[in-house]
């Protein structure tokens, strides 16, 4: 078991279905108003077939992931969805396919829904990841209402679309948190300010998850995790080869197991606060690539706090893009006072652009969880992936 309650994830459920009712109603009303005659439908999708295996394991077994459910030693490739590789080749942990439909009612009003099917956490399932109405108030301002992925960090909201980045996956220790969606509203500004391409979003909402996959990594007994009163803001600046992004998210969390509140301590209240902040820099110049991010997560006093960092460098040799990436998550017991664990990963990845819509990747990861008491957990993972969009 990790010293800290790790970060906790999300399975969309009845909340998702209930969200669809008002959206369906809205679409129905649009249809009734005559707009349905002009509805333009399009679809697109993405997917990846990913094969992986833990090729080396050392250190101690801390029971995360749970040895009763997985044949460990194992490596967790995606905390949020419960993706775990064992010491045998498997396609199941990370392979997935996403299908997106877009209904355009007018040039400024549209509805988008995206479902993703996967076999993470040892169970095949299809989740509704996105379902939102989008309306352009002006050429610069767009308001959206519905269900979306949560943009905590630079790659968070498109980490399922592995074709869109160079690695097989985003660094798992830094990107593995309990909740990956929210139901609510957002307002986005997109425009040119003094030569910079500026994109900024403010959003608010909540997410309730049942049988959360992150909690399943610790025990088969299901946990429900809720993030309420959530709001966030991000700002992304781009100019030619340089991109910077700053993001902030605040919410109040609660966790239940077998119907009993396990976090925060019920004696202290029903919810506890948490703050996520991240700063990213991306450079893509003359075929050189640099991807970096630092993150700060304060979940005190109810839960642990964390500092994350990631930096990757690569070079594009025509269709080949090799990269070396180092990531680290430092876990603290409380309010950054006592360091409890250091999780680090070094990744060597190679992407080859097979066509304009597909790529193949190979990646070798070395992971080490340093428990700071003389013990550690060491894993090496090899993965091969075929990624595509359509």
Partner 1 sequence: MMSNKHTTRTTWAAAGLCLGLLASAAQADAVVIVHPSNATALDDEQISKIFLGQTKTFAGGGEAVPVDQKEGAAREDFGNKVLKKNQAQLKALWARQIFTGGAKPPKELSGDDEVLKFVAATPGAIGYVEAGKANSSVKVVKR
Asked if 249 touches partner 1 (CB under 8 A), the answer is no
Distance CA 130, CA 114 (A): 5
Asked if 66 touches partner 1 (CB under 8 A), the answer is no
Helix, strand, or coil (residue 19): helix
Which of 148/309 has CB closer to partner 1? 148
Query: Which of 125, 190, 342, 366: binder of partner 1 (CB under 8 A)?
Result: 190
Asked if 286 touches partner 1 (CB under 8 A), the answer is yes
Site for partner 1 in 349-378 (CB under 8 A): 353, 355-357, 359
Site for partner 1 in 125-144 (CB under 8 A): 130, 132, 134, 139-140, 144
The distance from CA 229 to its chain's CA centroid, rounded to whole angstroms, is: 20
What torsion do the CA atoms of 100, 103, 109, 113 make, to the nearest 10 degrees? -30
User: How many residues make contact with partner 1 (CB under 8 A)?
Assistant: 43
Site for partner 1 in 162-181 (CB under 8 A): 163-165
What torsion do the CA atoms of 340, 291, 55, 72 make, to the nearest 10 degrees? 40
Asked if 194 touches partner 1 (CB under 8 A), the answer is no
Distance CA 91, CA 273 (A): 37
Sequence-distant (≥ 6) Cβ neighbours of residue 305 within 8 angstroms: 297, 298, 299, 331, 332, 334, 335, 336
Query: Which of 100, 200, 261, 346: binder of partner 1 (CB under 8 A)?
Result: 100
Distance CA 76, CA 96 (A): 16
Which of 166/253 has CB closer to partner 1? 166
**In this structure, are residues 83 and 63 in contact, taking their beta carbons and an 8 Å threshold?**
no
Asked if 41 touches partner 1 (CB under 8 A), the answer is no
Query: Which of 27, 161, 170, 381: binder of partner 1 (CB under 8 A)?
Result: 161
For 176, 200, 249, the CA distances from 170, given in Å and listed in that order, are 9, 23, 19
Asked if 123 touches partner 1 (CB under 8 A), the answer is no
Q: Which residues bind partner 1 (CB under 8 A)?
A: 44, 46, 98, 100, 112, 114, 130, 132, 134, 139-140, 144, 148-149, 151, 157-158, 160-161, 163-165, 190-192, 195, 197, 199, 238-240, 286-287, 317-320, 353, 355-357, 359, 389
């Amino acid at each position: 078991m990790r010293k800290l309650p790790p970060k906790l994830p999300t399975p969309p459920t009845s909340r998702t279905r209930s969200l669809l009712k008002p959206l369906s109603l809205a679409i129905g009303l649009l249809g009734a108003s005559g707009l349905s005659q002009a509805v333009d439908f399009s679809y697109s999708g993405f997917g990846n077939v990913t094969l992986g295996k833990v090729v080396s394991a050392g250190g101690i077994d801390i029971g995360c992931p749970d040895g009763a459910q997985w044949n460990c030693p194992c490596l967790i490739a995606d905390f949020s969805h419960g993706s775990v590789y064992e010491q045998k080749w498997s396609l199941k942990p990370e392979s997935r396919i996403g299908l997106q439909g877009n209904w355009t009612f007018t040039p400024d009003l549209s509805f988008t829904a995206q479902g993703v099917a996967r076999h993470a956490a040892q169970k095949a399932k299809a989740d509704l990841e996105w379902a939102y109405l989008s309306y352009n108030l002006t050429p610069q301002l767009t308001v959206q209402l519905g269900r979306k992925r949560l943009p905590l960090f630079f790659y968070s909201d498109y980490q399922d679309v592995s074709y869109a980045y160079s690695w097989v996956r985003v660094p798992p220790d830094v990107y593995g948190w309990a909740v990956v969606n929210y139901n609510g509203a957002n307002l986005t500004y997109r425009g040119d300010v003094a030569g910079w391409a500026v994109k900024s979003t403010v959003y608010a909402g909540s997410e309730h998850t049942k049988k959360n996959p992150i909690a399943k990594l610790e025990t088969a007994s299901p946990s429900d995790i809720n993030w309420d009163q959530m709001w966030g803001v991000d700002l992304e600046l781009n100019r030619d080869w340089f991109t910077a992004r700053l993001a902030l998210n605040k919410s109040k969390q609660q966790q239940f197991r077998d119907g009993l509140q396990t976090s925060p301590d019920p004696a202290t209240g029903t919810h506890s606060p948490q703050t996520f902040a991240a700063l990213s820099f991306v450079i893509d110049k003359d075929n050189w690539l640099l991807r970096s991010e630092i993150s700060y997560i304060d979940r005190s006093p109810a839960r642990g706090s964390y500092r994350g960092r990631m930096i990757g460098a690569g070079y594009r040799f025509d269709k080949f893009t090799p990269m070396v990436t180092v990531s680290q998550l430092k876990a603290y017991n409380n309010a950054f006072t006592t360091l409890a664990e250091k999780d680090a990963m070094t990744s060597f990845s190679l992407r080859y652009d097979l066509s304009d819509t597909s790529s193949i990747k190979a990646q070798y990861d070395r992971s080490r969880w340093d428990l700071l008491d003389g013990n550690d957990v060491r894993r090496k993972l090899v993965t091969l992936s075929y990624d595509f969009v359509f």
